[in-house]
Amino acid sequence: MAHNKALFYGACLAIILIWGTAYTFVGFIVDTISPAWMVAVRTTIAAFVLVTYALLRRHRFPSLRDKVWRWYGFMGFVGMALPFYLSAHGQIEVDSGLTAILAGVMPLITIVLAHFFVQDERLTVRKTLGFFIGFVGIIYLFLPVPFKWEMVQDWQSQGLILLTALCYAILTIIAKRAPEIAPSLGAAIMVISAAILSVTYALATGIPQTMPPRSALIALLFLSLGATAIAQILYLRLIQISGPSFVAKLVYLVPVASIIAGIVYLDEVFSWRLVGAMLVIFIGLLIAKSDKKPGAKSDKKPG
């Protein structure tokens, strides 16, 4: 991927589309499955898939004493178990549009953290301006007109989603500084840690007494395979190749992809507001664009 532009941009497109449907799946699932059990099942399925995938690629898991387990185990907590639960709990009260606005804070947090903790990711006026313009585009896309102050009534749930954005920003920084291992192996260790923590907490909340509807279980399966398993491999590889700021830019395209998918597959109404918001977001990304070319000077191991 580091030396194949078509593969690199294909991975970018794939992760945008996968993330673009994740909030929709979560919002649908939490109507019938508790956040704790949704996260437990989501991470457990992903753990089986990623461990199998890593073994098929003939990767050997390091000794439990190896520091890799501490790094990627913590990443599994801060980047999967905790934000998955916070987001699911928040989306019980917050709709997907407002969720997209709140989650859009993540790139702004990321570029600030990267300035202090990642080499060659210094904060510049151009980069800051570009990310702020992109965030304005997301607000323009999802903010109701006219604005109603009732939106802030569920501030506790909205705060949980903001904490989710903070978790993902921290994960992006840690992933860049973590020991170098194959992305498929790193993703497997992350999700093993997340599954252990999530299942433990879910069991503490009690065993569900009723079986969820089939539609929710199917949605949970797709969420587990896509946003939890496949996306983690792509995410770690893109971080290795291009750094936190580039991946943060992709986050701004996620809500756009979600809206387009709704128009194409769910017959949602087309709006010129979408076009205007997309232009604002793309302008922001162009302004924030780094001079570093994707895929350049990477000697990381392929996934």
- Asked whether residue 149 is assigned to any structural domain, the reply reads yes
Domain interval for residue 247: 5-288
- Asked whether residue 209 is assigned to any structural domain, the reply reads yes
What pLDDT does 302 receive? 41
- Asked whether residue 303 is assigned to any structural domain, the reply reads no
Q: What is the CA radius of gyration of the chain?
A: 19
- Asked whether residue 129 is assigned to any structural domain, the reply reads yes
DSSP-assigned letters across all residues of 205-238: H---SSPPPHHHHHHHHHHIIIIIIIHHHHHHHH
What pLDDT does 300 receive? 42
d(CA 280, CA 273): 11
- Asked whether residue 184 is assigned to any structural domain, the reply reads yes
| Residue pLDDT tens, the chain, 303 long | 667 888 888 988 899 888 878 877 888 898 899 999 999 999 999 999 999 999 998 999 999 999 999 999 999 999 999 999 998 888 888 766 666 667 767 777 887 788 788 777 777 777 778 778 877 877 776 666 665 555 556 667 778 888 998 999 899 889 888 998 998 899 999 999 999 999 999 999 999 988 999 999 999 999 999 989 999 899 888 888 887 778 877 877 777 777 776 666 556 566 666 667 667 767 776 776 654 544 444 444 444
Please list, residue by residue across 77-115, b when 16 or more beta carbons sit within 10 angstroms of its beta carbon and e when fewer do.
bbbbbbbbbbbbbbbebbebbbbbbbbbbbbbbbbebbe
- Asked whether residue 258 is assigned to any structural domain, the reply reads yes
- Asked whether residue 297 is assigned to any structural domain, the reply reads no
- Asked whether residue 299 is assigned to any structural domain, the reply reads no
What pLDDT does 224 receive? 94
Phi, psi values for residue 66, rounded to 5°: -65, 140
What's the domain count of the chain? Answer: 1
* Cβ proximity of 223 and 37 under 8 Å: no
What pLDDT does 283 receive? 78
